[in-house]
């Protein structure tokens, strides 16, 4: 019987320090969930506790689901990671005369820095001013990128610039080639095979959805705003730690049953260095980006994963 008292005290101490309203946590080893529990509340006003079944927005963890979809389509012969995006969408922009390829979008190496779509969403969510940009369709995002000539910083495939807009285009490619909406594709090809029955998208109904809270430097936490995100392939999934344990198990099985071994190897292969983090201790880092995943050294092992933040869920 493992003792998790030290872990629980660590979580409670961090919650006190950061004034987090609620946290859900699961530890996985192979296909076994070693530990799962909630701390604090999913709804402060109603005093509803956070549990392992509480649903949270998982933000950019969604990007690895999008990468799986693209790899599945490659397995079916419908695309290649080397294909230029303009083969499937009317993307005219060519940084330094080079076409942007599918793998460039997957690895954030299109050569274009963030175009403020996600930043505008974040300011609106936090109530710090502004409003979301009027971008609702894949065509809107294609036009947005086509107008970004003055933002180009590098030849595609050479430098890492986090670009949420690129993952929106990938969602559009999945929809075009599969004949399904992005959300329906993810449900049919990823969530259902893994038994992730409590995972869906922002704007849908969940039995234990956590209220997102903005925690100001002073004063009480206040509820954040919740709304659907267009297309959603960059960060609109909602899940629980119990469902994410099933998703993690798939990666620990090297992609089975969703990906062939060669596709799994593609997904986790480091492709481009990410900017160094000076706060990393010596046994950790540096990190590289693979396909919707980061890969780095971690105390003598390899750590593969991705963070996620949306609507102030983290």
Q: What is the pLDDT of residues 46-62, one digit of tens each?
A: 999 999 999 999 999 99
Nearest by Cα to 189 from 96, 86, 67? 67
The number of residues making up the chain comes to 314
Other C-beta atoms closer than 10 Å to the C-beta of 296 total: 19
Percent with pLDDT over 90 in the chain: 72
The answer on pLDDT for 126 being more than 60 is: no
As a whole number, mean pLDDT of residues 297-302 equals 88
* The architecture CATH gives domain 5-305: 3-Layer(aba) Sandwich (3.40)
Are the C-beta atoms of 289 and 275 separated by less than 8 Å? no
Q: What is the mean pLDDT of residues 142-154?
A: 92
What average pLDDT does the segment 62-71 reach? 99
pLDDT of residue 115: 75
Token reading at 102: 């599918």
Q: What are the structural domain ranges in the chain?
A: 5-305
Pairing outcome for strands 32-43 and 48-49? antiparallel
pTM, two decimal places: 0.93
Measured between alpha carbons, how far is 60 from 232 in angstroms, rounded to an integer? Answer: 10
**Does residue 288 carry a pLDDT above 80?**
yes
What pLDDT is stored for residue 123 in this prediction? 61
Residue 312 has a pLDDT of 67
pLDDT tens digit sequence for 225-251: 777 777 899 999 999 999 999 999 999
The reported pLDDT for the residue numbered 132 is 62
């Amino acid at each position: 019987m493992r003792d998790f008292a030290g872990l629980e005290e660590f979580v409670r101490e961090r919650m006190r320090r950061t004034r987090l309203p609620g946290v859900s946590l699961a530890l996985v080893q192979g296909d076994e969930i070693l530990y799962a529990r909630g701390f604090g509340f999913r709804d402060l006003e109603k005093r509803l506790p956070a549990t392992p079944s509480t649903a949270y927005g998982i933000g950019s963890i969604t990007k690895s689901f999008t990468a799986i979809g693209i790899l599945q389509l490659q397995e079916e012969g419908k695309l290649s990671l080397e294909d230029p995006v303009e083969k499937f969408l009317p993307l005219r922009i060519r940084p330094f005369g080079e076409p942007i390829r599918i793998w460039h979008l997957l690895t954030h190496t299109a050569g274009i820095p963030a175009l403020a779509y996600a930043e505008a969403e974040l300011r609106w969510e936090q109530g710090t001013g502004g409003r979301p940009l009027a971008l609702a369709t894949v065509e809107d995002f294609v036009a947005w990128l086509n107008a970004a000539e003055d933002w180009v910083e590098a030849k595609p495939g050479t430098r890492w610039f986090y670009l949420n807009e690129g993952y929106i285009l990938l969602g559009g490619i999945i929809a075009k080639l599969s004949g399904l909406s992005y959300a329906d594709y993810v449900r049919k090809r990823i969530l259902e095979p893994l038994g992730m029955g409590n995972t869906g998208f922002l704007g849908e109904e969940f039995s234990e959805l956590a209220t997102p809270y903005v925690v100001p430097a002073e004063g009480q936490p206040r509820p954040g705003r919740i709304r659907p995100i267009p297309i959603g392939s960059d960060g609109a999934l909602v899940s629980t730690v119990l469902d994410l344990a099933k998703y993690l198990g798939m990666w620990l099985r090297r992609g089975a049953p969703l990906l062939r071994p060669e596709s799994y190897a593609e997904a986790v292969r480091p492709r481009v260095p990410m900017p160094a983090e000076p706060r990393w201790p010596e046994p950790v880092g540096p990190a590289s980006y693979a396909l919707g995943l980061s890969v780095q050294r971690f105390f003598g092992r390899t750590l593969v994963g991705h963070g996620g933040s949306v609507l102030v869920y983290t």
